[in-house]
A = this chain, B = another copy of it.
Amino acid sequence: MLPFQNLILPDRDKIFPIYKQITNRLISLIQEGTIQPGTYFPGTRQMAHLLNVNRKTVINAYEELLSQEWIEAVPRKGYRVIPELPVIKPRSFQPRNHFIPTVPRDLKYTSLVSPAVEARKITSKDIVVNDGFPDVRLAPFKEISEVYRDPVSSKKIKMLIALRDDGGLELLREATSIFLNETRGLNISKSDIIITRGAQMAIYIAAMVLLKPGDNVVVSDPNYLFATEIMTNAGANIITIPVDQDGINVDQLEKVLEKQPIKLLYIVPHHHHPTTVTMSANRRLRLLQLIDEHNLFLMEDDYDYDFHYKNSPILPLASASHNGKIIYIGSFTKLIAPSVRLGYLIAAPEILKKAIHLKRLIDLRGDTFMEYMLAQMIIKGDLSRHINKSNKLYAQRCDLICDLLTRKLSHAVEFTKPQGGMSVWLRFRDKYQINKVLADAARNGLLLIGTTFQKKGDVNDNGLRFGFASLSEEDMECAVNILSKITK
C-alpha cells in the first residue's frame, strides 16, 4: 500500500474543506501516475485512520471521486482507480528542459523604462517621476464610490449591466459627444463614437481595423513608442518623418506621399509624445489638404487636448472637413486617473462598425458603473470643473518646474516650456548620457519612469519625459536637486 499518510497532508487552515483537499490530492496522485490505474484504495476506515480525519470526510472524498469517474466500486473488494485511465506525468507550467514553445508571431516591444530603474523595488520614500500622468490626489474617487452606493443609480446600472455592450454605455457616448462638440468644435453624435479602455485601446483597435500586413504607415520620429509597436505588430511598414518645433515636417511628408502609397498617418498634434511640441495651425491645414489629395487615413491622437496653460488649444484636425478620413482618439484617463481607463474613438461609420466588433472580441464589455459615473460627471459639469481645477494647478506646477530646471539644471538640460500637458521634454546634453542619469538618480531615490529617446545625431537624442503634473512642489524641488547633484 502507498504511504498515503505522507502523500496526503490536509491543511486545516486552508479555505477549502478537508474532503475537497483529499479529493484533489488523490486526483493529482492518479494524474501523476503515483497511484496507478487499477490500484485499490484503502477502506474508508483505514484511510481515515491514516490521514487522521473523520471517516465521513473520507467517504465524501471517495464519493466525489466516484462521481467524477476517477474510481469505481468493486463489490466486496472496495474502491479502485478505473483501470482504463491512461497514465500521465506530473503537472507543470514550466516547459521541459530544452523545450521552447514555438511562438511564431514576433511581438516587438521596447521598454520605456531603463533596466536600472526597472530592477529597483520602489519604496514609499522614493520620488517617482512618471511620463505625464494626472495627479491621483485630485481624482474623483469619492464620486466613483458614491455611484456604487447610491441606490437609484445602482438600480439603473444593474439593469444596464444585463444588456449587451455596443461600444460603450449609450449615456456616456451621448455625454461624450456633447462634451467634444463643445470643447473641440466637432460635430458628432453618439453614433459616431465608441468608448474604449483609454486612448491606448482606441489606437490598437483602429490600427487592427485599418491595417493589413504590408501597408505603409507614417509616424513621427521620435514617436509614442507603443503606437509604433501597435502598427508594427499589425504588419505595417513604418516610415518616419522628423518632428520640429512646429510639429511633424509636412514638406517631408509630402515627399514621402509622392513616392509611395501610404495607408495611414499617425500624429499627436497637441503636446506631441514624447517631445510635447504643438503643431502649428498652418501645418494642420496643409496636412488636411494632403490627406484629401493622397486619400490616406489620419489617426489623430489628441490625448492631451484638455490641458492648456497659455492659450486655448487649437481645434483638432478632426473638426475640419476630412470626408471620414480622420480617426479621432482621446482620453478621459488623462483627465481623471491612470486607473480609470476610459477613452474614445471617433471614426466614419464603416470603420466604427468594425471597431465595435473587434472591441467586443477583445473586451466583451466596459465597466458599466465607471462609464455611468463619468457620464454623470460630464452632464452635471463636474468634469469641466475638474479640468479647470486641474488646469490651474498643473499650470502652476509647469511654471515651477520650468523655473527650477532653468535655475538649477541649465548646465545639463535643454527644454522648451510646453504650452500645456503634463510633462516637460528634457534633452540632456551629450555629456550626460541618459541611462547613466537614470541609474544615478535611482540610486539617489529618484525614479524617472518617463519615456526616454536615444538615437545618435537626432536633435531629441538623450531626451526624457519628466511628468510634473502629479508632483508636489516639494517633490519637484527635491527631484531637480537630485538631478542637479548627479550632473555636477
Residues of A within 8 A of B (CB): 14-16, 20, 23-25, 27-28, 31-32, 63-64, 67-70, 82, 84-86, 88-96, 99-101, 103-105, 107, 109, 112-113, 122, 124, 128, 130, 133, 136-137, 141-142, 144-146, 148-149, 154, 157-159, 161-164, 182-183, 185-188, 192, 197-198, 200-201, 204, 208-212, 215, 226, 229-230, 233, 280-282, 285-286, 288-289, 297, 310-312, 314-315, 318-326, 337-341, 346-351, 354, 357-358, 360-370, 381, 384, 449, 470
A105-B209, A161-B337 known; A200 and B361 CB under 8 Å? yes
- Are A103 and B351 within 8 A (Cβ)? yes
A103 surroundings in chain B (CB, below 8 A) = 209-210, 350-351, 354
Which one, B104, B310, B369, contacts A339 given CB within 8 A? B369
* Interface contacts beyond A63-B311, A340-B367: sample of 16 additional A-B pairs, CB < 8 Å, sorted by A: A28-B315, A31-B321, A32-B321, A82-B282, A85-B282, A94-B324, A95-B349, A113-B164, A124-B159, A133-B161, A137-B158, A145-B148, A148-B148, A163-B449, A197-B362, A362-B362
The chain B residue with its CB closest to the CB of A163 is B122
What's the least CB distance linking A19 to chain B, in Å?
9
- Are B281 and A69 within 8 A (Cβ)? yes
Which one, B15, B149, B360, contacts A145 given CB within 8 A? B149
- Are A162 and B200 within 8 A (Cβ)? no
| Top-9 shortest CB links A-B | A95-B324, A145-B148, A89-B321, A339-B368, A109-B357, A67-B311, A104-B212, A31-B320, A200-B364
- Are A91 and B15 within 8 A (Cβ)? no
What's the least CB distance linking A228 to chain B, in Å?
10
- Are B14 and A182 within 8 A (Cβ)? yes
A92-B324, A321-B90 known; A201 and B363 CB under 8 Å? yes
Bound state CA distance, A367 and B367, in angstroms?
A: 10
A91 surroundings in chain B (CB, below 8 A) = 185-187, 318-322
- Are A321 and B88 within 8 A (Cβ)? yes
A145 surroundings in chain B (CB, below 8 A) = 145-146, 148-149
Bound state CA distance, A84 and B284, in angstroms?
A: 13
A360 surroundings in chain B (CB, below 8 A) = 109, 226
The chain B residue with its CB closest to the CB of A86 is B285
- Are A101 and B198 within 8 A (Cβ)? no
Bound state CA distance, A289 and B354, in angstroms?
A: 40
- Are A208 and B105 within 8 A (Cβ)? yes
A323 surroundings in chain B (CB, below 8 A) = 92, 95-96, 99
- Are B64 and A312 within 8 A (Cβ)? yes
A201-B363, A351-B101, A369-B339 known; A281 and B208 CB under 8 Å? no
- Are A185 and B341 within 8 A (Cβ)? no
Give 6 pairs: A residue, B residue, CB < 8 Å, sorted on A. A31-B285, A64-B311, A82-B281, A86-B285, A93-B192, A109-B357
- Are A15 and B361 within 8 A (Cβ)? no
What's the least CB distance linking A287 to chain B, in Å?
10
- Are A24 and B128 within 8 A (Cβ)? no
The chain B residue with its CB closest to the CB of A357 is B109
- Are A133 and B162 within 8 A (Cβ)? yes
What's the least CB distance linking A362 to chain B, in Å?
5
A366 surroundings in chain B (CB, below 8 A) = 339, 341
Question: Which of A25, A136, A186 lies at the interface centre, i.e. has the most chain B CB atoms within 10 A of its CB?
Answer: A136
Bound state CA distance, A401 and B54, in angstroms?
A: 36
Bound state CA distance, A286 and B87, in angstroms?
A: 9
- Are A93 and B347 within 8 A (Cβ)? yes
The chain B residue with its CB closest to the CB of A337 is B161
What's the least CB distance linking A86 to chain B, in Å?
5
- Are A188 and B339 within 8 A (Cβ)? no
- Are A31 and B340 within 8 A (Cβ)? no
- Are A198 and B364 within 8 A (Cβ)? yes
- Are A354 and B107 within 8 A (Cβ)? yes
The chain B residue with its CB closest to the CB of A149 is B145
